[in-house]
Structure 1
Amino acid sequence: MRRVPDVRPPALRPAAVLPGPAPRRGPVTVALAGAEFGWGSSGKLSAVLSALRERARLPLRFVGLASGLGRPLLAEHSVEHWYDLPDAAADRRAAVGRIVRSHGVRAAVVVLDGAIATALQAAGVPTVFVDSLPFLWTEGDRAALPLDATVYCAQQCVGLPPECEGILASVASLRWVEAVIGTPPAGSTGTPGTPGTRTWRKALVSLGGLGAPRLPDRTAYPRVVVPAVLDALAEHGVQEAHLAGNLPAGLLGGLVERPPAGLRVTAGPLPHSAFLSELTRCDVLLASPGLTTLLEAGRLGVPTVCLPPQNLSQIFNGRFHSRAVGVDVRVVWPENVFREEEALGLRAKGEDHALELIYGGIGRVAARADGTPGAAGLRAAVLAAVRRAAGGADWGALTAAVGTGGAAQVAEALLAIAGPTPARGA
């Protein structure tokens, strides 16, 4: 795996987007969408929408496409209409065309959903596609990626496997951007941890990615992992834990109604700004390692333990994070669940092949009578990672390596392609 050169894109000056004093014109209509694969895409959309509010010289109105899983995270933003889309490609393209015409959509921003980006481009809408996982793709994924997007924003990463270089070389308008993450609450800049034993009182446990389209049972991962995590936290002396993420509502009660002795557990999803606020108040984060979560925690210098990966990208994310912070704070699955190297090898055929192995292994473990891959073993692995994290690390290292200005850079790219807005009634 080669290291990505530090080629940061120059920021577009707002004056070049909408020059001169703001005329009295109607709002620019922007379509937005995020992949139905957890909450990371919606977190990025939230960050971009916040950046657009700060930079737009004319009013913007937003129309949301699909993204049903992530809509709760975007509730704090003014999205005028949400539309569900058909699954069939031809029907989806026709529906997108109708929405574009009825709302006068002038530009779009799409995070990781290649099918919707392609449909928007086909409808004549200039589209900014945000790819936060450029290190993941191989030739088996080529057909799913909108390589001819108006602007293809690839998020900086700390390493690019050679298998993905041909894909990126095919992008018509590639632009590298820094990490697309939310802005911390005012006054919460965060300070990377320093070595030394810490006593932690409050933990945040974050599980995302549980609504992926091909995931056969979204309860399997939390049923296996959460009890081991709570037991490990209690043994470490943590007194409070909040369980967040896109967890199935019916599962929450069973996971928290009988907490380990000495540990008070609360649970429930958090909108994006609330999640960032919760990060500033916790002593340690334990997360299924979605990249957006790791980068936002790194920006605040929050000690972070990577729980066992639940999909392909999280294998990369956990490795990138531990390598950057200089301490192995990953929890890996035992080989009787699945072997990471086997999953990485299968991705040459396309991401779906690797996901089949991963989901199958986790599902088999959850189906066992005791629901665990060896409860004591997983609990011990989590506790060992927590203790290593308590020794301190450079918690901001991964975020520092890829920058934090990506939301602004994507917003500026979108404003640039939106173009001048016609006068009202024109």
Structure 2
Amino acid sequence: MPSDVTTHSAAPAARSGPVTVALVGAEFGWGSSGKLSAVLSALRERSVPRLRFVGLASGLGRPLLAEHTVDDWYDLPDDPGRLAPAVREIVRSQEVRAAVVVLDGAAATALLAAGVPTVFVDSLPFLWSEGDRAALPLDATVYCAQKSVELPPECLDILAGARELRWVEAVIARPRAAESERGAGRRTGRPYRRALVSLGGLRAPRLGDPAHYPRLVVPAALEALSAYGVEEVHIAGNLPGDLAGRLVDASIAPPRTTTGPLGHRAFLDRLADCDVLLTSPGLTTLLEAGGLQVPTVCLPPQNLSQIFNGRFHSQALGARLRVPWPKAVLAEDEALALRAEGEDHALELIYGAIGAAAQGTDRQAVGHALRNGVLEALRRSTRVDDWGALTTAVGTDGAAQVADALLGVLRPTDPLF
């Protein structure tokens, strides 16, 4: 094994028997791995010849896939010039026959160049402009774009160049029967007593200090929940180290406040049991909450896609359920205008604004404004009748559709599929 590739298992490569499929999720948040988990669950429900899985990159999201059998995990080099040779070696040694890649355009391109039929899952098609075209693997064997409540014309222009474009519904885990029953039995307008706070996307490339966002948002959210009357809250997400625990001030937090990351299934279980979710507006989390009919308030956006997600969520549910940054911190329209030059330009502005607010002299005033914003959104949320509106708008069969796309690319080389 060359030095460009690090394996996390000493198991030998399979030379016969099961068909090997590579899995890749973007190193941005947990959403990509949540989608991979949903696709693997959909594959498990199908009567197909045995598949064997190896994972590439996805270091952040590997814990979310713990319930699935992934034989080997490989780190990939950060140097773009070394990526393609590293991928070729993994493909050769593991006899990779196909791949499912979520949002990692560079990995998808490297797999395609190595001759691997690749299903690319794009859960953020509404985000792209001409500045992003080169980063998108539009020549993927199948390009699965997740449906959205709104698609700007420039996005459609980009996706029109995809070799094999398929629009799929939301790629999310299907709720278990018991979870669905709890959601269906949830009473609209009842007082919230148990809350879940979820923060994702805090390990994104180029983010800088991942503690800036939670330092601003977590205390404000806890104070608002306490003022509203919530008695129990759990803080989950990919926060650095024990940061969440250090942000809990017993004098302002609900009396029973706990912290700690949750695996994907554990997160869904906790989500189904809570009265209200406060979350940084990652799309997968919003769709999963909608599938379970969980009242949801969007915390301030961490990145460009979350600006769109929060707006889509409020639009679909017909209520202002998102908490924007004070305009002195971030003017969202300015960030949206920068996306014409590519997502990276907008992210630079957003990350810089959050960092400046976290380190600035007005941090207390920002926290006070956020606390009031969360409390107002909680009060407005009690008037929402259908918490599944966003999820219903885009459907819930995306994981099955991606699974079928993968089996479709395997079928020409193996009639058993």
Superposition TM-score, scaled by structure 1 size:
0.90
Aligned counterpart, 1:174: 165
Q: Deviations over 1:335-363 (max 9, x none)?
A: 11110100000000000000011001100
**2:365 aligned with 1:355, yes or no?**
no
Greater displacement, 181-190 / 159-168? 181-190
Deviating runs (4+, > 6 A) in structure 1? 420-423
Instruction: Give SS of 1:188's match.
Output: helix
**2:393 aligned with 1:401, yes or no?**
yes
Aligned counterpart, 1:213: 205
> 1:192, 1:144 → 2: CA distance?
44
Which residue, out of 68, 85, 88, partners 1:94?
85
Aligned counterpart, 2:192: 200
Q: In structure 2, do the counterparts of structure 1 residues 377 and 422 end up closer, same or farther at CA, with 3 Å as the change threshold?
A: closer
**2:275 aligned with 1:274, yes or no?**
no
Aligned counterpart, 1:10: none
> 2:288, 2:230 → 1: CA distance?
22
Root-mean-square deviation (CA, aligned residues, Å) is: 1.6
Deviation at 1:253? 2.3
Deviation at 1:62? 0.6
Give the conservation status (yes or no) of the 8 Å contact 1:27–1:421.
no
Give the conservation status (yes or no) of the 8 Å contact 1:39–1:69.
yes
Give the conservation status (yes or no) of the 8 Å contact 2:97–2:116.
yes
Deviation at 1:163? 1.7
- Structure 2 regions of 5+ residues with no counterpart? 1-15
Kindly provide the amino acid, as one letter, of the partner of residue 116 in structure 1: A
**2:33 aligned with 1:33, yes or no?**
no
Which residue, out of 324, 340, 344, partners 2:336?
344
> 2:327, 2:125 → 1: CA distance?
27
Give the conservation status (yes or no) of the 8 Å contact 2:225–2:253.
no
Deviation at 1:166? 1.2
Aligned counterpart, 1:6: none
1:10-25 to 2 correspondences below 5 Å:
none
Q: Percent identity?
A: 69
**2:327 aligned with 1:327, yes or no?**
no
Give the conservation status (yes or no) of the 8 Å contact 1:185–1:277.
no
Aligned counterpart, 2:369: 377
Deviation at 1:393? 3.3
Larger relative contact order (Cα-Cα within 8 Å, sequence gap ≥ 6): 1
Aligned counterpart, 1:246: 238
> 1:416, 1:372 → 2: CA distance?
55
Deviation at 1:264? 1.3
Aligned counterpart, 2:174: 183
What number of residue pairs does the alignment pair up? Answer: 398
Aligned counterpart, 2:72: 81
Greater displacement, 71-80 / 248-257? 248-257
Deviation at 1:33? 0.4
> 2:371, 2:342 → 1: CA distance?
33
> 1:29, 1:290 → 2: CA distance?
30
Which residue, out of 26, 43, 56, partners 2:34?
43
Q: In structure 2, do the counterparts of structure 1 residues 95 and 261 end up closer, same or farther at CA, with 3 Å as the change threshold?
A: closer
Aligned counterpart, 1:111: 102
> 1:164, 1:400 → 2: CA distance?
22
> 1:214, 1:56 → 2: CA distance?
42
> 2:150, 2:78 → 1: CA distance?
34
Q: Deviations over 1:348-387 (max 9, x none)?
A: 0000000011001100011125644532221111100111
Q: In structure 2, do the counterparts of structure 1 residues 261 and 79 end up closer, same or farther at CA, with 3 Å as the change threshold?
A: closer
Instruction: Give SS of 1:331's match.
Output: coil
Which residue, out of 130, 133, 139, partners 1:139?
130
> 2:82, 2:375 → 1: CA distance?
49
> 1:124, 1:332 → 2: CA distance?
45
Superposition TM-score, scaled by structure 2 size:
0.92
